[in-house]
Chain A
Amino acid sequence: MIDITTLSALELGRKIKAKEITVADAVKAQLEMIKQRDANYRCYITVLEEEAYAQAAEIQKRIDAGELDDSPLAGVPMAVKDNICTKGVKTTCASKILYNFEPTYDATVIEKLKKAGAVILGKTNMDEFAMGSTTETSHFGETKNPWDLNRVPGGSSGGSAAAVALEEAYYALGSDTGGSIRQPASYCGVTGIKPTYGTVSRYGLIAYASSLDQIGTFGRNVSDCAAALEVISGHDDKDSTSAPAKNYSYTKALIDDVKGMRIGIPKDYLGAGLEEDVKQSILKAAESFKSKGAIVEEFELHSVDFAVPSYYVIACAEASSNLSRFDGVKYGYRNPGAECLQDLYKNTRSEGFGNEVKRRMMIGAFVLSSGYYDAFYNKALKVRAIINDGFQKAFEKYDIILGPTAPETAPVLGESLSDPLKMYLSDIYTVSVNLAGLPAISLPCGRDSKGLPIGMHLIGKHFGEQDIIRAAYSFEQSRNYERPTVLTKGKEA
C-alpha cells in the first residue's frame, strides 16, 4: 500500500485516472490524516466528512464515464479558506458575527472547482475577516505552525497553508489582500500564488478590501499551485473588476529554463530589518538563478517604506465600508437584548467582531471622515500611484523581481497580538504587490538556524504569471521538497 497522502495533487490525479487509487480511498486517507493531526494544529473550522464521501462517489462516476479526462485534478481532495462562500456549508470568516452563516450560493471559484471534479474536504481557519498576519485573531482559536507548535503559521490564510504542509489537504484556496497567501506559505514551507488583480473572480469572496483582494492557491509544489490556479481563473460577468479574458494556461509555463531571464533584486529589500539567515538564503537563490543562465542584478525600487502605511489606510477604509453590512438583521449573530434598531446594530457589532477587526474599522472610519480624507485617504491613493509607477519602471528592465517574502521566519504565538504595529511591518515586502495588483509567488528556498522554512518571493508584471511560474518551477528543480520535521520523524505531536 503506497502512502497516499504524501503524493502531490497532480500525482494523485494521475493515479486516480489510471485506476490505481479510487477517489473514495483518497478521501478516506485524507480524512484520517485530519483526525490524527488537526486536534493539535486546528487547520480546519469545518470538516465535511459525509459530504466528502458523497462528492467522491459522484466524481468517481464522472471520471469513469470519461467526463473529466481534461481535468488533471479531478478527484483530488482539497480545502477552502472560510471566507469563500460554499452553498449550504458554514462560511464564518472565523468571526463570531458569522458563526452560523450558511451561504445560499457558491462563489464562482467553488463552481469552477466542482465542475473540475474537486473534492472539498472542509473550510480552513484564518484571521478574522482576513485581518491579521498570524491566524491568531480567529474566533475559533489559532492554527499552529506545522514546523513548531509554539509558532504561528502566518496569516491570514494560515489554516490553508498549514493544512497543505501537514498533508491534511493536497492543495487549498486562500485569499491575499496584503500577503495573506504568500506570507503563510513562507512560514509553513509550502508554495502559494496570488495572481494579478482581476484574474480570479471575487464573486462569493467575502470582501475585506475590494481593490486589493484576490483569491489564489497553495500547494506542496509549483506545479500543483499552477494547475489549481488554472481551474479557478477566468473572466466572470458577476465580478465587475474581473479582467477581460487572458491566457490562463499556467501549466504550460512549467519549464525548467531561465536562460536569459532578467531578474531584478530591489536593494531596499535586502536592507535593515531583514534577518541574516533569510538574506543569505535569498542571495543563494539568486546565485542558483545565475548558474541556470538568468541575468540577476540589484536595483533601486524606491518608496518601499511607504507601502505599509499606504496599504493600511486603503485596506482599513475599504474594510470599514465593506463590513457595514454585518448588522445582525439578515444573517449571523444578533445581540438578543436590543430594544431599538441602533442598539441592535451597536451591540451586535461590538459583541460579534474581535479587537483587530474593530481597530481596522475605526482606522477606516477615521481616515475617511471629514477633515482627514485628503490628508490620509487621498494621500494614500497618491502613494499607491507612485508605488505602482516604480514597479512599471522596474518591469521595463526586468522580467521578474526577486526578494524575501517576509523579513523573518515564523514568530512565536502571542508575540504579534501584543504589538499590532510590529505585525503590520511584517508585511513590508508583500503589500506593495497588492497595491500595484501584480502577480507574485512564494516558494520555499531554505531554512534558518532554528530549522524554520524561509520563503522566496517572485513578483511578475501584470498578467505575467507565466514568468514567475516558470522561474519558480525552474528553481524548484534544484532542491527537494522538505516535509515538516514532525512528519518525517514520525512522532507527531
Chain B
Amino acid sequence: MKITEETVKYVAALAKLSVSEEEKQKIAVDLDRILDYIETMNGLDTEGIEPMSHVLPVKNVFREDVVTNTDNREQLLKNAPKQKDGCFAVPKTVE
C-alpha cells in the first residue's frame, strides 16, 4: 500500500477533519505502516466465505411505535454550546 498526501487529504475530508501540511506527511507514513500490516490479512484464503457482520443470528427487531419519552427540550438544550429561541444555534448555512 502506498498512502500519498493526496489520500490523506481525501480521508481527512471524509472524516471532516482538517490536517496541516506538516501533519499530512506524518499521517501518510503512519497510515502506510498500519495498512501494510492490515494487508497481511491477504495471507488468509477467504474464497467462498460469507462476510460476517454480526455475531448472533438476530434479524430486524421490531416494536410498536409508541412514544415513551417525555418533552425534555430544556434539559437537552443545556448541553448546547449555543442556543437561540429554544433551538440549537449554528453559523449561517445558506447565503
A345-B72 Cα distance, complex, nearest whole Å: 25
As a 0/1 sequence over residues 356 to 389 of chain A, the CB contacts with chain B under 8 angstroms (1 = contact) are 0011011111110100000010111111111010
Chain A binding surface, main DSSP class? helix
Complex CA gap A376/B17 in Å reads 22
Binding site for B on A (CB under 8 A): 100-102, 104, 197-198, 211, 237, 240-241, 243, 303, 305-306, 309-310, 312-313, 320, 324, 327-334, 338-341, 343-347, 349-350, 353, 358-359, 361-367, 369, 376, 378-386, 388, 420-421, 424, 436-437, 462
Measured CB to CB, the closest approach of chain B to A157, in angstroms, equals: 21
Assembly CA distance A421 to B33 (angstroms): 8
The answer, yes or no, to whether B92 is at the interface (CB within 8 Å) is: yes
Residue from B14, B79, B91 in contact with A332 in the complex, judged by beta carbons closer than 8 Å: B79
Q: Which of B16, B30, B40, B88 has the most CB of A within 10 A?
A: B16
The reply to whether A362 and B8 contact each other, CB–CB distance below 8 Å, is: yes
B58 within 8 A of A: yes
> Closest Cβ of chain A: how far from B35's Cβ, in Å?
7
Inter-subunit contact B17/A361 (CB<8 Å): yes
**A332, B81: Cα distance in complex, Å:** 7
Q: A341-B91, A437-B55 are in contact. Are A306 and B8 (CB under 8 A)?
A: no
Chain A residues, Cβ within 8 Å of B53: 211, 381
- B67: Cβ under 8 A from any A Cβ: no
CA–CA, A235 and B50, complex, Å: 28
Which listed residue, A241, A320, A327, A358, touches B58 by the CB 8 Å rule? A241
Residues of A near B55 (CB, < 8 A) are 197-198, 211, 388, 436-437, 462
Contacts of A361 in B (CB 8 A): 15, 17
Question: Which residues on the A side are within 8 Å of B17 (C-beta)?
Answer: 346, 349-350, 353, 358, 361-362
Which of B10, B16, B49 has a CB less than 8 Å from the CB of A382? B49
Closest chain A residue, CB of each to CB of B50: A385
Q: Given A346-B18, A365-B15, A383-B46, is A359 in contact with B90 using a C-beta cutoff of 8 Å? A: no
Q: Can you list 12 residue pairs at the A/B interface with Cβ under 8 Å? A: A309-B41, A328-B81, A330-B80, A331-B80, A347-B18, A349-B17, A359-B31, A361-B17, A380-B41, A382-B50, A385-B49, A421-B33
Known: A243-B56, A362-B12, A379-B46. 13 other contacts (CB 8 A): A306-B41, A309-B40, A329-B90, A339-B91, A344-B91, A361-B15, A363-B35, A365-B15, A378-B51, A382-B46, A385-B49, A420-B30, A421-B34
Q: How far is the CB of A311 from chain B (nearest CB, A)?
A: 10
CB of A61 to closest CB in B, whole Å: 27
Contact B14 A365 (CB under 8 A): yes
Given contacts A211-B53, A344-B90, A361-B17, contact A104 B30 (CB under 8 A): no
Residues of B with C-beta under 8 A to A424: 34, 37
B interface list, Cβ under 8 A from A: 7-8, 10-12, 14-19, 27, 30-31, 33-35, 37-44, 46, 49-56, 58, 61, 63, 72, 75-76, 78-82, 88, 90-93
Which residues of chain B are near A309, meaning CB under 8 Å? Answer: 37-41
Complex Cα gap A363–B27 (Å): 10
Q: In the complex, what's the smallest C-beta–C-beta distance from A255 to chain B, in angstroms? A: 28
State whether A379 touches B16 (Cβ < 8 A): no
Bound together, the chains give a CA A332 to CA B63 distance in angstroms of 32
Contact of A102 among B42, B49, B78 (CB under 8 A): B78
Task: Return chain B residues, CB-CB under 8 Å to A386.
Answer: 44, 46, 49
Query: A384 vs B52: C-alpha distance in the bound complex, in angstroms?
Result: 6
Please name all residues of chain A whose beta carbon is closer than 8 Å to the beta carbon of B44 when the two chains form the complex.
Answer: 303, 306, 383, 386
CA distance A303 to B46 in the complex (A): 11
Q: Tell me, rounded to whole Å, the shortest Cβ–Cβ distance linking A273 to chain B.
A: 14
Chain A: minimal CB distance from B80 (Å): 6
A421–B40 CA distance with the chains assembled, in angstroms:
13
Docked CA distance A93–B70 (Å): 26
Q: Report chain B residues within 8 Å CB of A462.
A: 55-56
Q: CA separation between A369 and B12, bound complex, in Å? A: 12
Decide: A104 near B46, CB < 8 A? Known: A211-B53, A309-B38, A378-B51: no
A361 to B14, CA, bound (A): 9
Knowing A346-B18, A385-B49, A420-B34 are in contact, say whether A197-B56 is a contact too (CB < 8 A). Answer: yes
